[in-house]
Amino acid sequence: MNAIIKFAYKLSLILILLFSIHIGVLKLTSHAVFENYIIESYLIQLLLTFFIYTMIYIRRIPQHDILGFLFIAGSMLKFAVFFVVFNPWFKQDGDINKLEFASFFIPYTACLIYESIAVSKLLNSK
């Protein structure tokens, strides 16, 4: 299986599982399930992480020297999306509560961990 497709498949499975757990915890604690832009957050993290990994994978051989910069730039892109897209939504009521923060930070962290592991394996496979 192509490495990019395999990455996307595993990332999707991880996020689906995590999303299910996240929704389950919200239900168990009697919180609104689909508020705080939770769906958008998981989808945007999935797409950005897939895009970043794809760029790193494509450039792994011809431009091996810049891969670390691409990884860091990708992380910066994810935070820029948070500040441009999510932060204004979350601050509409004046502050960012724990549930709003979790709806961004949980998928962000999961994607960062999986992406770091996958990129590390990719770079060490030479």
Q: pLDDT tens across 26-42, in order?
A: 999 888 888 778 899 99
Nearest to 82 by CA among 119, 109, 51: 109
Global pTM reads 0.86
pLDDT tens-digit readout, 52-102: 999 989 888 777 777 788 888 888 888 888 878 877 766 677 776 788 788
Domain count for the chain = 1
Domain range for 29 is 3-124
